[in-house]
Amino acid sequence: MYALGVDVGSASSKAVILDRNRKIVAAEVVQAGTGTTGPRRVMEQIFSKTGLHREDIVKLVATGYGRMRFEGADRQFSEISCHARGVHYLVPEARTILDIGGQDAKAIRLGNGGEVKQFFMNDKCAAGTGRFLEVMARVLETDLERMAALDTAADSPVSISSTCTVFAESEVISQLSHGASRENIIAGVHNSVAAKACGLVGRCGVEGTVVMTGGVAQNAGVVRAVSRELNREILVAPNPQTAGALGAALYAWDDARRERGDETG
């Protein structure tokens, strides 16, 4: 018996399959989110990778921004619950989660048993999220993968004061025209993302081990900036983009076991 979790985000789709022993069989990511072919493709990808079929899946749980539009799910859970479960599975000592995705950022505080104590999500705009980094990468003629490496070469990060993504973009352009180095601008951009995301963490209250998830957690520059901002060490969840899908799969696994009784336990 297998359980599947799918996380349909705004910019990417993720899927995770668990086996009867609650072990991860596969975790896949497609960089296209809700309303695109992404959700379908991530399912095809995970099935072809594992050789499994939809019939092998006892329960399927959907989460993420596009969870209500994903067809074929047995249940939907919110991203908050799923991230909390996924992270607790991967890093049981985690007490604070900072998830930065394509269009949203969230801070979650966990209790000792991994239960959600409090959470905050960004509102009003996409500042401080993956979209912000994408826009900046374009102006700086680089890509998300290279930004972390360039960040390490910064000697005097510039300060980006605009909160608005569009204004921040013009600010970056003017920094470039004033001769600031790309490295220093990139470090400034990372600091700016970190400052906004840490505002959420501040609202939520930082406790214990802090774990980052979401696509942006793959950018070591942002992780370093968050660590400086919070003044503590940050753990990056293994395969951070799929933490939400993993949580969804864990919920699916519970449902499957409930349905099948001990047979699957």
Partner 1 sequence: MRNVETILAQFKEIAANPRQAVADYRSETGKGAIGIMPIYAPEELVHATGYLPVGLWGGNQSINQARTYLPPFACSVMQQVMELECQGAFNDLAAVVFSVPCDTLKCMSQKWKGTSPVLVFTHPQNRGLESANRFLVEEYTRLQSRLEEITGVKISNAALENSIRVYNENRAALREFVRLAADYPQFVGAVSRHAVFKARQFMEKSRHTALVRELIGALTAQPLQPWSGKRVVVSGILLEPDGLLELFDELKLAIVDDDLAQESRQLRVDVQEGNEAPLYRLARVWQRMYGCSVATDTKKLRGKMLIEMAQKTGADAVIAAMMKFCDPEEWDYPIYFDELEKKGVRNLMIEVDQGATSFEQARTRLQSLAELL
CB neighbour class for 87 (10 Å; exposed up to 12, middle 13-18, buried from 19): buried
For partner 1 (CB under 8 A), the number of binding residues is 18
Which is closer to partner 1, CB of 68 or CB of 153? 68
Interface with partner 1 includes 123 (CB under 8 A)? yes
Interface with partner 1 includes 80 (CB under 8 A)? yes
CB of 238 to partner 1, least distance (A): 24
Q: Give the range of 11-19, 111-119, 141-149, 169-177 binding partner 1 by CB under 8 A.
A: 111-119
Residue 212's φ and ψ, nearest 5 degrees, are -100, 140
Q: Which of 2, 47, 65, 253 binds partner 1 (CB under 8 A)?
A: 65
Residue 52's φ and ψ, nearest 5 degrees, are -90, 170
Q: With H, G, I as helix, E, B as strand and everything else as coil, classify residue 254.
A: helix
Interface with partner 1 includes 104 (CB under 8 A)? yes
Interface with partner 1 includes 238 (CB under 8 A)? no
CB of 127 to partner 1, least distance (A): 14
Q: Give the range of 15-23, 119-127, 211-219, 233-241 binding partner 1 by CB under 8 A.
A: 119-127
Interface with partner 1 includes 119 (CB under 8 A)? yes
Interface with partner 1 includes 206 (CB under 8 A)? no
**133-140: long-range pairs with CB below 8 Å, 24+:** 133/189, 133/193, 133/216, 133/219, 133/222, 135/165, 135/168, 135/169, 136/168, 136/169, 136/172, 136/186, 136/189, 139/169, 139/172, 139/173, 139/176, 140/172, 140/176, 140/182, 140/185, 140/186, 140/189
CB of 69 to partner 1, least distance (A): 10
Q: Give the range of 76-84, 91-99, 127-135, 214-222 binding partner 1 by CB under 8 A.
A: 76-84
CB neighbour class for 62 (10 Å; exposed up to 12, middle 13-18, buried from 19): buried
Interface with partner 1 includes 118 (CB under 8 A)? yes
Interface with partner 1 includes 113 (CB under 8 A)? no
CB of 62 to partner 1, least distance (A): 12
Q: Which of 124, 155, 179, 233 binds partner 1 (CB under 8 A)?
A: 124
Q: Which of 121, 149, 153, 166 binds partner 1 (CB under 8 A)?
A: 121
Interface with partner 1 includes 132 (CB under 8 A)? no
Kindly state the tokens that stand for 110.
Answer: 């966990």
Whether the CB-CB separation of 11 and 131 falls below 8 Å is answered with: yes
Alpha-carbon distances, residue 41 vs 49, 90, 131, 214 (angstroms): 12, 25, 22, 19
Kindly state the tokens that stand for 74.
Answer: 């047995």
Kindly state the tokens that stand for 87.
Answer: 């992270």
Interface with partner 1 includes 81 (CB under 8 A)? yes
Which chain residues interact with partner 1 by CB under 8 A? 65, 68, 76-81, 104, 115-116, 118-121, 123-124, 205
